[in-house]
Amino acid sequence: MSNDNNLTIKETFIQALKNHQNNNLEVAKNLYNKIILIESNNIGALNNLGLVFQSLGESQEAMSCYKKVIGIESNNISALNNLGLVFQSLGESQEAISCYKKVIGIDTNYVNANFNLGNVLNSLGNYQEAKKYYEKVIRIDSNHKDSFNNLGVILKQLGQYKEAIDCYKKAIKIDPHHKDALNNLGVIFKELGNYKEARKCFEKAINIDSVHIVALNNLGIVFKELGDFLEATNCFEKVISINSNDPDGHFNLGVLLYETAQYENAVEEFKLISFKNSNSYFLSCLFKLDKKSSFYDVFDKRIKKSEKFDALVGSVCLRSEIKYGINVPNPFCKHPLDYVLSRDLIKICDFNNTFIKTVKKILNKKKILLRNQGLLTNGIQTSGNFFNLETELTSKIKDIIHSEIENYKSIFTDSEEGFLRKFPHKYNLNAWLVSMKNGGKLDAHIHENGWLSGSIYINVPRKKKVDSGNLVVCLEEEYEKEENKNIKKSIDVVTGSICIFPASLLHYTVPFESKEERIVLAFDVIPKN
């Protein structure tokens, strides 16, 4: 090829590169192809053409380009890394891993391949291995903001909240406009019950990107937890206005409407989606609206066929059977009153130090923010997860609860009830404190997101009446109808006792008269996805 032709190729490549950088992708594609027609083995043009195809979503064409480069130059790390990205985008994780490892085998410090390998392993749930590669990237490049962010995600998954916070903060320090790190930091604060800091983080992310749907959804959840339903509604509606098909936006708005008894409007949101436990809320709305035919239709089409169930489904099925007199299959638990277990913890642990001193210290020092709780009279409820405090004693409490759950399962090991047969292999414990004063009570409710629910009674005032301060579990909201004794059970709780029951059971507390404080640690078993 003559010198003139070489100059022509160089000039064409420069033009292609400029258009590529300016996102004029079709023009760039044509120019790269022009070069390849003249010089079929031009590695730079082939590799860049692959990048253009990737940007246009044309994965197979991109793959073809990278394979041609590798066929010419087997150790071309750029093409190998890019080929890995294509495989990753197609969900072919093992092929992607193979590409990245080949790159690292050629150049162990190639940042992009190490980072991308961490991402694939993270997506596969191989958190410990992913963690190693993010840490390696950071050792190579201490300003690699996305590795700090992604390492934070891993650490949160592993329950290392403090370390995760440090990572997110480092990412934000490197780039104050790192919207994903800001959102992720907000999520941790939200889970810790620090709604003030969570709100700040989400609002900063939204100020950077006004259409950051994830941050908007999270901000809405914070407002809901704070009892600001108007602002929460505004957030969820904004999400839907940005993306009318966003399932989280519709779900979050639907749950908010459900919890504020706007069942007709909630139904309209749940009609549009079928994910998470939206079907359960949909079913419950129809029951509360007394739409009998629609109720059974949704049960058959969305619940029965999917074979996915939860505590809310279990509760609604029981209540519909009582209300309509029709035997409804209950995939969760047909006879939940038979699965209420209560026993004494004082005999098996140092209850005073492990529970009483810990809890009273936390409450007195006001280490946890309070949650708006409309069902509670003359009392307070902490927000967030009690176990996120990560103290030595809260870890002991968690271990005791885990042990009690295993004991519960062993007692009912022969049961055919769905919630026991399909007990989640992996779960989180979510806990909160409830403190009541004289006349305090908690109205009937269930824990929709739970699988098992339970309470540890830190301090129960001495009884002036037989059932004063008792826990009552029941099948129906109209629990005060004394003529039907088969729908409820009163649990005589005392200081140091624990009670565990299916989360589908409605439960409430009997008011008490005392100068003493009634303190309870309530908890749920939350299935992991």
CA dist., res. 382 & res. 396, Å (int): 20
Q: Are 456 and 500 in contact (CB under 8 A)?
A: no
Domains of the chain in start order, with CATH, are 337-527 (2.60.120.620)
Q: Are 260 and 233 in contact (CB under 8 A)?
A: no
The CA-based angle 87-91-96, given to 5 degrees, is 35
Order of strands, edge to edge, in the sheet holding 376-381?
341-344, 497-502, 452-459, 518-527, 427-442, 376-381
| Tokens 């089409």, located at residue | 301
- Which pLDDT value is given to residue 369? 67
Ramachandran quadrant class, 437 (left: phi over 0; alpha: psi -120 to 50; beta: rest): beta
> What is the phi/psi pair of residue 455, to 5°?
-145, 140
Residue 292: is it exposed, middle or buried by C-beta count within 10 angstroms (0-12/13-18/19+)?
middle
Q: Give me the long-range contacts of 12-15 (CB less than 8 A, separation at least 24).
A: 13/44, 13/45
Quick check: helix, strand or coil at residue 118?
A: helix
CA dist., res. 369 & res. 384, Å (int): 8
- Which pLDDT value is given to residue 485? 54
Q: Are 319 and 477 in contact (CB under 8 A)?
A: yes
Q: Are 139 and 132 in contact (CB under 8 A)?
A: no
CA dist., res. 155 & res. 158, Å (int): 5
**Taking the C-alpha atoms of 184, 185, 190 and 191 in order, what is their torsion angle to the nearest 10 degrees?**
80
| Number of neighbouring beta carbons within 10 Å of residue 61 | 16
Residue 99: is it exposed, middle or buried by C-beta count within 10 angstroms (0-12/13-18/19+)?
buried
Q: 94 CB contacts (<8 Å, ≥6 apart)?
A: none
Q: Per-residue confidence at 3, pLDDT binned at 50, 70, 90? A: very low
- Which pLDDT value is given to residue 4? 44
- Which pLDDT value is given to residue 301? 86
For residue 481, pLDDT beyond 60: no
**What's the rounded mean pLDDT across residues 422-427?**
93
Q: Are 77 and 46 in contact (CB under 8 A)?
A: no
For residue 462, pLDDT beyond 70: yes
| Number of neighbouring beta carbons within 10 Å of residue 366 | 9
DSSP β-bridge partners for residue 344: 497
The CA-based angle 508-449-456, given to 5 degrees, is 45
What percent of the residues of the chain are helix, what percent strand, and what percent coil, each to the nearest 5?
Answer: 60, 10, 30
Q: Per-residue confidence at 322, pLDDT binned at 50, 70, 90? A: confident
* Average pLDDT over all residues of the chain: 91
**Taking the C-alpha atoms of 92, 97, 98 and 100 in order, what is their torsion angle to the nearest 10 degrees?**
130
- Helix segments in 262-310, DSSP class H: 263-271, 278-288, 292-298
CA dist., res. 509 & res. 474, Å (int): 11
pLDDT in tens, 104-121: 999 999 999 999 999 999
Quick check: helix, strand or coil at residue 218?
A: helix
Q: Are 134 and 151 in contact (CB under 8 A)?
A: yes
pLDDT in tens, 132-148: 999 999 999 999 999 99
Q: Per-residue confidence at 1, pLDDT binned at 50, 70, 90? A: very low
DSSP β-bridge partners for residue 343: 498
Give Cα 42 to chain centroid, integer Å: 47
Tokens of 491: 């649990």
Q: Are 258 and 266 in contact (CB under 8 A)?
A: yes
Quick check: helix, strand or coil at residue 506?
A: strand
Better-scored residue on pLDDT, 200 or 9 = 200
pLDDT in tens, 268-315: 999 999 887 899 999 999 999 999 999 999 998 888 877 788 999 999
CA dist., res. 282 & res. 277, Å (int): 9
For residue 167, pLDDT beyond 50: yes
| Tokens 């991308």, located at residue | 116
Q: What is the CB-side half-sphere exposure of residue 109 using CA atoms within 13 A? A: 5
| Tokens 């085998």, located at residue | 105
Quick check: helix, strand or coil at residue 523?
A: strand
> What is the phi/psi pair of residue 158, to 5°?
-85, 0
pLDDT in tens, 347-371: 888 898 888 888 887 777 665 667 6
- Which pLDDT value is given to residue 2? 40
Q: Which residues of 197-223 are buried (b: 16+ CB within 10 A; e: fewer)?
A: ebbebbebbbebbeebbbbbbbbbbbb
Give the E-state strand segments of 394-468 in sequence order.
427-442, 452-459
For residue 473, pLDDT beyond 80: yes
For residue 58, pLDDT beyond 70: yes
**Reported pTM:** 0.83
Identity of the residue numbered 501? F
For residue 124, pLDDT beyond 90: yes
CA dist., res. 99 & res. 106, Å (int): 11
Q: Per-residue confidence at 257, pLDDT binned at 50, 70, 90? A: very high
Tokens of 376: 């509670």
pLDDT in tens, 482-520: 455 568 899 999 999 999 999 999 999 999 999 999 999
CA dist., res. 11 & res. 22, Å (int): 17
